[in-house]
Structure 1
C-alpha cells in the first residue's frame, strides 16, 4: 500500500446500524511506514439512492442524494512514521430513508477517508458502509385494521359449446405483518361448471418499482403453497398459512426512486382465475386488541339455514362442503421455509391446509428460481434486524412472455414495459 499501511475506518462500539437523526462517530486509523507529505486528510459521510437499467450495475441512470458532509481532520503537513488516528463525527439527517439493496438499485450510506498528497504522489482512500433503519409501525398505516378480502368470478367456455363459471374468494386474517409472523389464508372456490379446475396456488409476492424514465419492475415469488383441484359442481373451502421471512419493509419513506409492495396472489391456472390481497410488511406488529375490534360478525348467509326457515317444502340450505384433507409434501428450496408449523386451532399438517376427507397432494415451497451466481454486493439484503439477509436470486428473462397470459407473472424483471395493474384494478366482486 506504499507509505501507508492498515488504512481503515472504525465506528465507535463497532456499531453499523443507525437510525435517522442519530450521530455517527468513529476513528480513522492508519500506519505510516515512511515520512509522508500530505495536503490534507479528509473524512466524508454521504447517503444516496442509485437506480440503473441493468441488474447489479453501479452505473446509475438516476441518483438521489440525501446528504454529503466532509470534514478535514488534518491540514497540510508531514506525517511521521508510526500509527496515526483521527476521530470524526457526523449527524445523520432525520429524513434519510431506510437502507435497501435490490436488483436494479440501492440506498447506500458510507463513510470515506482521503489522504491528499502533493502532485505526482499517490493518494490514499478507504471507505466503510453503514446502514439506516427507520422502524415502520404498522399501527400508523391508514386503513390497516381488519382482514384483507377479495373475490372474483370467472366465466369460461369448454368443450367448444359448454360454459360455466368459477367463483374464487380469498381472505387473509390481517393486512399487515412483521417478519416471523404467520399469514393465515382462507380460500373458497365454487366450481359452477362441469370441468374440474386445476390446483389452487397462493403466493406471497414482492414487487419493487425502480423509477427511471420508464420504470423497471422486479417481481419475485417469496413463498408459495398449493391446494387441491375442485371437482365440478363443488364448493370447497381451503385454509393455509405461510411464515413471513425477513424482508425489507413496505415503505421507504424519503426515497422517491424505489417503491416496495407486497401482496398474496391466489390463482387457478385452468380456468385462469387470479386475485390479489395487498399486504404491508413492517417492523412493529399490529395491536391485536385493535384488530379484534374490527373483525366482522358472521353474517346469516354464512351459517346453515334452519329447516324451520322459509318454505317448509324446500330442502334446508347447507354450508359448503369442506375439501379433503391433503397429504403435505414439501419441496426443497434454498429459501426460508414459507409454510408455518401447525397451530392448535385444528389446521392441517405443516405446509398443508385444513382439508378433510380423501387425501390429495398439497405442495409448499419457497422461491423456485435458479440460484445461480450470487451478487457481489454486500450485504445482499437489508431486513428488519441486523444480520438478517436474503439471497438475491437472478431474474429470468421475460422477453418472450405474453403479458396478457396473467395479471402478475410468477417471476419477472422487465424494462420499458407498462406497469402491472394496481391492486385497485384487480377484479373485486
Structure 2
C-alpha cells in the first residue's frame, strides 16, 4: 500500500450483530510508513436496501435508504508516520429492518472509512459490514394460535376415458415456528379412482418478492420429505415432520422492497394435487401458557350491578334467559251458602253482589267452567213483576251458541221449569195469575180453590219477598223471619 501499511475498522468487543436502537462503536486503525497528506478523514455508517433484476448483481435498479451518518475523525493536514487510531460511534435507528441477502436484493448495513488525499494522489477507503437483527416475537402476531389446515378436491381423467377424484386434506400443528423447531404435518388422502396415485410430498417453501417495475418472485424449497403412494379406492392418513433450518424471519418490518413468506406445500404426484399452508418463521417461539391464559380469561362486565344477584351465570356463551314471572295468586273462592231447596234454579246459579262481590275472573262470552266465578248485577236473574233485562245487560248463563273460537264444553241443558207443577213460589204465583185471567188448567181447578181478594194480596206479597230471599238471603232475612 505504499505509504499506508495498515487500514482497518475494528468494532468494540468484535461485535458484528446489533439490534435496532443500539449504538455501534469502534475505531479506525491506520499505520503509515511515511507521512500522508490528506484533505479529509471521515467515517460513515449507513443502511439501505437494493433490488435488481439480475441474479447476484450489485447495480441496483431500486434503492431504499434507512439512515446515513458521517463524522470527521481528522482535520485537513498531514498524518505522521506511525500508527494512528480514530474512534467513532453511531446510533442505529429503531425502525431499521433486519439484514437480508437474496439473489435479487439485499439489506445492507456497513461502516466506511474514507481518506481524501490531494489532487493526483490516491484516495483510500475501506468498509466493514455489520448485521442487524430485529427479533420477531410470534406471540405478538394476530391470529397466530391454533392449527393451519386446508383441503382440496381434484378431478382428473386417465386412460383417455376414465375419470377419478382425489381428496386431499392437510394441517400443521401450529402457525408459527422458530429455527430448530419441528413442523408436524398431518395429511389425509382419499383416492376415489381406479388407479394408484404418485408419491406424497411435504416441503417447506420460501417465497421472496422483490419490488421492481415488474415484481420478481424467488421461490425456493428449503426442506422436503416424501411418502408413499395411495392405492386405488383407498384412504390414507400420512404424518410427517420437517425441521426448520436457520432462516430469515417472515416479516421485514420497515422494508418496502422485499417481502418474505413461508408455507408448507403438501402435494400428491400423478395426478398433481397440491395445497399450501401458510406459516410464520420468527425468533421468539410461541408460548402455550399465553394461549391458555387467553382462553381462560373471563369476559368483563361493564358494571357489577348489571348482573342480578339472584342470577347464577354458569356459561358465558349461552343466551341469557328472562326472569321467571311470579305465579298468579289464586282467586278467592266465594263463601259457601246454604240453599233452602235442592231444586235446580230456573236459569242459572245465584249471582254475586255487583259491588265488592267475591270471586275472580271477569265476565266472558264463553261457557263458564267450574273454576270461574260469575260476576253479574243483582237484578240479572230477578223475575219479580215489573223487572226486565235491558239490552246492555249481559249475563253469564249458558248461551245457546258459544262465542267465536270458544271450545265446546258438554254441560246439562237448563230448561225453564214447569210453573204449573214446580214447588217454587213462582209456580204458585203463576197459577194465581192464570186464575185471575181465567186460564186455569183442569188439574189446577181440581186441586186448588179460588182464594179471596185479601188472601191473594197476602200470597202475592209473601211470594215476592220469598223469591228475593231465595236469591239474596241477606237483604230480606228480617222480612221473612
Give runs of aligned pairs for residues 30-429 of structure 1, distance below 5 A. Answer: 30-291=30-291
The answer for the alignment partner of 2:407 in structure 1 is none
Shift of 1:292: 6.2
Contact residue 175 and residue 279 of structure 1 kept, 8 A: yes
How many Å separate the matches in 2 of 1:144 and 1:92? Answer: 30
Distance 1:129 1:2 in 2: 26
Query: Secondary structure at the residue paired with 2:254?
Result: coil
Give, in whole Å, the separation in 2 of the partners of 1:55 and 1:275.
Answer: 29
- Report how far residue 125 of structure 1 moved: 0.8
SS in 1 for 2:271: coil
Q: CA deviation at 1:142?
A: 1.1
Instruction: Give the Cα separation in 2 of the matches to 1:76 and 1:157.
Output: 80
| Equivalent-residue separation in structure 1 for 2:164 and 2:39 (angstroms) | 81
Residue 267 and residue 294 in structure 1: after superposition, are their counterparts in 2 closer, same or farther (change >3 A)?
A: farther
Specify which structure has the higher proportion of helix. 2
How far apart, in 2, do the equivalents of 1:96 and 1:290 lie?
A: 28
Distance in structure 2 (CA, Å) of the matches to 1:35 and 1:282: 52
Q: Report the equivalent of 2:343.
A: none
Question: How big is the shift at 1:242?
Answer: 0.9
Q: CA RMSD in A?
A: 1.3
Relative to structure 1, the CA distance from residue 293 to residue 23 in structure 2 (aligned partners, 3 Å threshold; closer, same or farther) is closer
State the distance in 1 between where 2:235 and 2:292 align: 28
Number of positions where the alignment pairs a residue of Structure 1 with one of Structure 2: 295
1:14 matched to 2:14: yes
* Aligned mates of 2:290, 2:147 — CA distance in 1: 12
| Inter-partner Cα distance in structure 2 for 1:289 and 1:163 | 49
SS at match of 2:139: helix
The separation in 2 between residues aligned to 1:35 and 1:175, in whole angstroms, is: 62
> Does the CA-based 8 Å contact 1:113-1:125 persist in structure 2?
yes
Instruction: Tell me, in whole angstroms, the C-alpha distance in 2 between the residues paired with 1:111 and 1:119.
Output: 25
Q: Show the counterpart of 2:29.
A: 29
Q: Which runs of 5 or more structure 1 residues have no equivalent in the other structure?
A: 296-429
What is the CA deviation profile of residues 364-395 of structure 1, one whole-angstrom value per residue up to 9, with x for unaligned ones? xxxxxxxxxxxxxxxxxxxxxxxxxxxxxxxx
**In 2, Cα distance between equivalents of 1:279 and 1:116:** 50
Residue deviations 1:179-221 (CA, integer Å, cap 9, x gap): 0000001000011111111111111101011110001111111
Per-residue Cα deviation, 1:103-122 (whole angstroms, up to 9, x for no partner): 11100000000111111111
Query: In structure 2, do the counterparts of structure 1 residues 3 and 41 end up closer, same or farther at CA, with 3 Å as the change threshold?
Result: same
Q: TM-score, normalised by structure 1?
A: 0.67
Q: Name the TM-score, length of structure 2 as normaliser.
A: 0.60
In 2, the alpha carbon distance for the partners of 1:130 and 1:106 equals: 13
1:355 matched to which residue of 2?
A: none
Structure 2 stretches of 5 or more lacking a match? Answer: 296-481
In the other structure, the counterpart of 1:299 is: none
Spell out, residue by residue over 1:390-422, the C-alpha distance to the aligned partner (whole angstroms, 9 max, x if none).
xxxxxxxxxxxxxxxxxxxxxxxxxxxxxxxxx
Distance 2:275 2:291 in 1: 24
State the distance in 1 between where 2:200 and 2:294 align. 28
Q: Secondary structure of the equivalent of 2:174? A: coil
Q: Distance in 2 between matches of 1:85 and 1:7?
A: 10
